């Protein structure tokens, strides 16, 4: 992962960024963010974003998404 995209996200207003694989992603599911953008194309990371947003939050998935046959669990 290159650091430049994370720096660019901060420049345009991101309050936090996480470089997956650094060990910092462990607590993301409790983050309760308003918006999460997943751009690696990894379905497991998209799942983390889905669980990392607060109720009513938005998730943007860029890149390779899982097949349409995959079902995402609803938030309780």
The alpha-helical segments, DSSP class H, found in 12-42 are: none
Q: Residue 24: its pLDDT value, please?
A: 56
Q: Residue 17: its pLDDT value, please?
A: 80
Q: Residue 26: its pLDDT value, please?
A: 62
Cβ–Cβ < 8 Å for 36, 15: no
Q: Residue 4: its pLDDT value, please?
A: 85
Averaged over successive runs of 10 residues, the pLDDT of the chain (76 residues) comes to 81 82 63 82 78 86 67 65
Rounded to whole angstroms, the maximal C-alpha distance in the chain is 37
Q: Residue 11: its pLDDT value, please?
A: 92
As to burial, measured by CB atoms within 10 angstroms (0-12 exposed, 13-18 middle, 19+ buried), residue 44 is exposed
- State pTM to two decimals: 0.60
């Amino acid at each position: 992962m290159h650091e430049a995209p994370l720096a660019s996200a901060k420049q345009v207003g991101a309050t936090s960024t996480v470089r997956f694989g650094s060990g910092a992603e462990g607590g993301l599911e409790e983050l309760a963010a308003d918006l999460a953008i997943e751009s690696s194309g990894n379905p497991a990371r998209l799942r983390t974003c889905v669980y990392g947003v607060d109720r009513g939050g938005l998730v943007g998935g860029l890149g390779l998404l899982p097949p349409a046959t995959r079902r995402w669990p609803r938030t309780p």
